[in-house]
Amino acid sequence: MTEDRWNWWQSRRLRYNLALAAAGWLAYGATLGMAAFSGHPMWRDWQGGLSMTLFLGVVFLAVMGAANVCYLIGPALEAWLKPADPTSFRRSAYPLGLWSSIALPFAFPAIYLAMLIGGGAR
């Protein structure tokens, strides 16, 4: 039973990471678009753009690492709760965790947008 649970969650980890990576690229594109639109000084030359890209990339890798640690909550919670219908639990828990993790990278462009609206990103 324990091995079945672990295998089920691990078999979806690649899909989870690919979705998270795609969300990261989309969030980066949104941030880049807002920065270009606002004329942010970091994006006026290639050195500023490169340094910002490297910074955002490192931050995103840390977020992906944290998300993968949080991914382990799924099988741990299933082991702790011991649901009567594990299939139903998995069908609801996995998408909840996936969509929550996909939303996380968009916190960066949301914060940047709030800074632009407030005038603090110039």
3-state secondary structure the chain: CHHHHHHHHHCCHHHHHHHHHHHHHHHHHHHHHHHHHHCCHHHCCHHHHHHHHHHHHHHHHHHHHHHHHHHCHHHHHHHHHCCCCHHHHHHHHHHHHHHHHHHHHHHHHHHHHHHHHHCCCC
What residue segments make up the domains of the chain, in order of their start?
2-118
Per-residue model confidence as pLDDT tens digits over 50-83: 888 898 889 888 988 999 999 999 999 999 999 9
Structure confidence at residue 47 (pLDDT): 82
Structure confidence at residue 37 (pLDDT): 83
Q: Name the residue type at position 2.
A: T
* Stretches in the chain below the pLDDT threshold 50: none
Can you give the pTM of this predicted structure? Answer: 0.81
